[in-house]
Amino acid sequence: MLTFITHNYVLHFRYCTLIMILGFDPGRDKCGVAIVDSDRSIIYHQVVSSDNAIATIRELTTQFAIELIVMGNLTTAKSWQQQLQSAFESITIKMVDERNSTLEARDRYWQMYQPQGLQRLIPQGLRLPPRPIDDIVAILLIERYLLLNS
CATH of the domain at 76: 3.30.420.140
| Owning domain of residue 125 | 18-148
Which uninterrupted H or E stretch holds 59? helix 53-63
pTM of the model: 0.86
Is residue 12 in some structural domain? Answer: no
Is residue 115 in some structural domain? Answer: yes
Which of 5-9, 32-36, 52-56, 64-68 is least confident?
A: 5-9
Is residue 50 in some structural domain? Answer: yes
Q: List the beta bridge partners of residue 33.
A: 24, 46
Q: Round the average pLDDT of the chain to a whole number and report it.
A: 88
Number of domains into which the chain is organized: 1
Is residue 3 in some structural domain? Answer: no
Sign of the Cα torsion 60, 61, 66, 68 reads: positive
Q: List the beta bridge partners of residue 70.
A: 23, 94
**What does the pLDDT read at residue 150?**
78
